Amino acid sequence: MTNRKWTTWTELKNEVMSPERQERLRARARAKAVITPYSTRDPGFVEAFLQRHPFLLPILEELPNAAKAAFKGSPTLVLQPATYEPWERYDELQVLIQTDQDASDALECLHAFDDNWWLDRYDQTEGKVSVHLEFI
């Protein structure tokens, strides 16, 4: 009879896996959980971006509730790479708040979102996240 130190697959996996790999897997799982309320364009980029910048996860966890409050409902939120030219990507993530409101009403909601929530958190993003309207 062998004398094992572990009794479950998880215990074995944790013993065999390096702490760095365990941390990367935890970060990946958390990133996937955080982006669940969002639609994503280029999900591979979004997941890799959030693994490189895990300090953004708490902000992106809170953002859907703040958007709901400002936009009086459940706007669709989209995460995508920032692209300012058709051929160039930046190390930045854009959050698009999709709306079918007319422009003046949508801008009023965006200003409320900025004043009541976003501007207090923007510095924490280190310029890695921007929020925009997308009219649908």
Q: What is the pLDDT of residues 29-52, one digit of tens each?
A: 888 888 999 999 999 899 889 989
Q: Which whole number is the average pLDDT over 92-107?
A: 95
**Alpha helix segments (H runs only) across 35-101:** 43-52, 57-71
Query: How many CA within 13 A on the CB side of residue 87?
Result: 0
